[in-house]
Amino acid sequence: MDSRRRDVLKAGGGLGLWSVLAAAGIVAPAQAQDARNVAAFEATTLDDALRALDAGNAAESGAIRIVAPDVAEDGRAVAISVVSDIPRTEQIVILIEENPWKVAASFRLSAAMAPSIQTRVKMARSTRVHALVKADGRLFAARREVTVTVGGCGT
């Protein structure tokens, strides 16, 4: 039996049409979840952020690479990239654990996009960086430490 079809039937009870279609891969995730996760972006503790992202039980994955310097001289702009080797990666979230607000960015990837994103973030002080990847509806996580010489959040 087609397990995806079964999931659709199961999910059909309580969820909205878009999330059902997205779960079945019928519509692109970007169409289904185009609303900002306000609770996650306003979270000021890591636990609250992970809870808002529904990521409390995200599985550790060696297939997510966080590329960042071991030591960042200037916390105002630290180059960071997240590369996912997990098939059907549809979302990448970057969290900076020691910043006042934990979620730096959430990227919703179309099927046309390679599952890799590069940006620059602020770091208030030495911190753990978390990357969450949603693939095929499941959440995976990776983390790494970055030592910051001069913090960059102005607090």
Specify the pairing of strand 71-74 against strand 138-150. Answer: parallel
Interaction of residue 87 with other proteins, rule CB under 8 A: no
Q: Which is nearer to other proteins, 9 or 42 (CB)?
A: 42
Whether the CB-CB separation of 82 and 64 falls below 8 Å is answered with yes
- C-alpha 80/C-alpha 64 separation (Å) is 13
Near other proteins by CB under 8 A: residue from 122, 133, 141, 142: 122
Give the burial class of 37: count Cβ atoms within 10 A of its Cβ; 0-12 exposed, 13-18 middle, 19 or more buried. Answer: middle
Can you read off the two tokens belonging to residue 6? 């079964």
Q: Which is nearer to other proteins, 30 or 63 (CB)?
A: 30
Cβ of residue 16: shortest distance to other proteins, in angstroms?
18
Cβ of residue 41: shortest distance to other proteins, in angstroms?
5
Interaction of residue 117 with other proteins, rule CB under 8 A: yes
Rg over alpha carbons for the chain, rounded to the nearest Å, is 17
Can you read off the two tokens belonging to residue 13? 């009870």
Interaction of residue 30 with other proteins, rule CB under 8 A: yes
Near other proteins by CB under 8 A: residue from 101, 126, 137, 144: 101
Cβ of residue 82: shortest distance to other proteins, in angstroms?
10
- C-alpha 134/C-alpha 74 separation (Å) is 30
Residues that bind other proteins (CB under 8 A): 28, 30, 34, 36-37, 41, 76-78, 81, 96, 99-110, 112-114, 116-122, 152-155
